[in-house]
Structure 1
Amino acid sequence: MNPRHFISLLDLSGDEFRRLINRGIVLKNNRDPDYQPLKGQVLAMIFEKSSTRTRISFESGMSHFGGSALFLSPRDTQLGRGEPLQDSARVISSMVDGIMLRTDKHETVTTFAQYSSVPVINGLTDLQHPCQLLADMQTYFEHRGDIKGKTVTWIGDGNNMCHSYIHAAMVLDFNLNIACPKGYQPLAEIVDAAGERIRFFDTALAAAQNSDLVVTDVWASMGQEEEQKLRELAFKDYQVNADVMKAAHSDALFMHCLPAHRGEEVSAEVIDGAQSVIFDEAENRLHAQKSLLEFLLCKKAR
Structure 2
Amino acid sequence: MQTLFRGKHFVTLRDWSQDEVETLLRVSMQLKMDFAMGKINDMLKNQTIFLMFFEQSTRTRNSMEAGITQLGGHAHFLDTSTMQVSHGETAKDTAIILGRMGHAIACRYCNWGYGNKYINEMAKWSPVPVMNLQCDLYHPMQAIADLMTIHEKFGTTKKLKVSIIWAYAESHKKPISVPLSQVLFFPRFGMEVVLAHPKGWELPDWVIAEAKANAERYGGSVTVTDDEAYAYKDAHIVIPKNWGNWVTDQTGLTTTGAVKVVDDKLMAHKAWKCTEEKIATADRDVVYMHALPADRNNEVEDSVIDGPHSIVYDEAENRLHTAKAVMALTMGGRGR
- The bucket for the TM-score relative to the shorter chain is over 0.9
Pair 1:10-2:44 in alignment: no
Q: 2:60 maps to which residue?
A: 54
Measured after TM superposition, the shift of residue 36 of structure 1 is 0.4
Would you say how many aligned residue pairs link Structure 1 and Structure 2? 301
Alignment of 1:134-283 (within 5 A): 134-156=144-166, 159-195=176-212, 197-218=221-242, 226-230=260-264, 232-283=266-317
Is residue 40–residue 70 contact of structure 2 (8 Å, CA) maintained in 1? no
Q: Could you state the TM-score of these two structures normalised by the residue count of structure 2?
A: 0.84
Q: 2:100 maps to which residue?
A: 94
Is residue 176–residue 244 contact of structure 2 (8 Å, CA) maintained in 1? no
Measured after TM superposition, the shift of residue 21 of structure 1 is 2.1
Moved over 6 A (4+): none
Q: 1:27 maps to which residue?
A: 31
* Structure 1 spans left out of the alignment, 5+ residues: none
Measured after TM superposition, the shift of residue 23 of structure 1 is 2.1
Measured after TM superposition, the shift of residue 218 of structure 1 is 3.5
Is residue 233–residue 281 contact of structure 2 (8 Å, CA) maintained in 1? yes
Q: 1:67 maps to which residue?
A: 73
Is residue 132–residue 257 contact of structure 1 (8 Å, CA) maintained in 2? yes
Distance 1:130 1:122 in 2: 7
Measured after TM superposition, the shift of residue 137 of structure 1 is 1.4
Is residue 156–residue 235 contact of structure 1 (8 Å, CA) maintained in 2? no
Alignment of 1:122-141 (within 5 A): 122-141=132-151
1:188-233 deviations in whole A, cap 9, x for unaligned?
Answer: 1111112252211222211122221100224569xx8932244641
Aligned CA distance change for structure 1 residues 65 and 232 (closer, same or farther; 3 Å): same
Aligned CA distance change for structure 1 residues 208 and 294 (closer, same or farther; 3 Å): same
Aligned CA distance change for structure 1 residues 225 and 69 (closer, same or farther; 3 Å): farther
Report the residue type matching 2:32 in the other structure: K
Report the residue type matching 1:202 in the other structure: D
Is residue 294–residue 301 contact of structure 1 (8 Å, CA) maintained in 2? no
Measured after TM superposition, the shift of residue 33 of structure 1 is 4.6
Q: 1:83 maps to which residue?
A: 89
Is residue 155–residue 204 contact of structure 1 (8 Å, CA) maintained in 2? yes
Aligned CA distance change for structure 1 residues 16 and 267 (closer, same or farther; 3 Å): same
Measured after TM superposition, the shift of residue 300 of structure 1 is 4.4
Q: Could you state the TM-score of these two structures normalised by the residue count of structure 1?
A: 0.93
Identity value in percent: 30
Pair 1:42-2:48 in alignment: yes
Is residue 143–residue 182 contact of structure 2 (8 Å, CA) maintained in 1? yes
Measured after TM superposition, the shift of residue 149 of structure 1 is 2.7
Of 263-272 and 234-243, the range deviating more from structure 2: 234-243
Q: Which has the higher helix share?
A: 1
Of 145-154 and 39-48, the range deviating more from structure 2: 145-154
Distance 2:289 2:119 in 1: 26
What is the aligned counterpart of 1:115 among 96, 108, 125?
A: 125
Of 288-297 and 228-237, the range deviating more from structure 2: 228-237
1:75-126 deviations in whole A, cap 9, x for unaligned?
Answer: 2211111011111111111111111101122111111111111111110011
Distance 1:57 1:230 in 2: 37
Report the residue type matching 2:193 in the other structure: L
Distance 1:102 1:110 in 2: 12
Distance 2:268 2:16 in 1: 35
Measured after TM superposition, the shift of residue 243 of structure 1 is 2.6
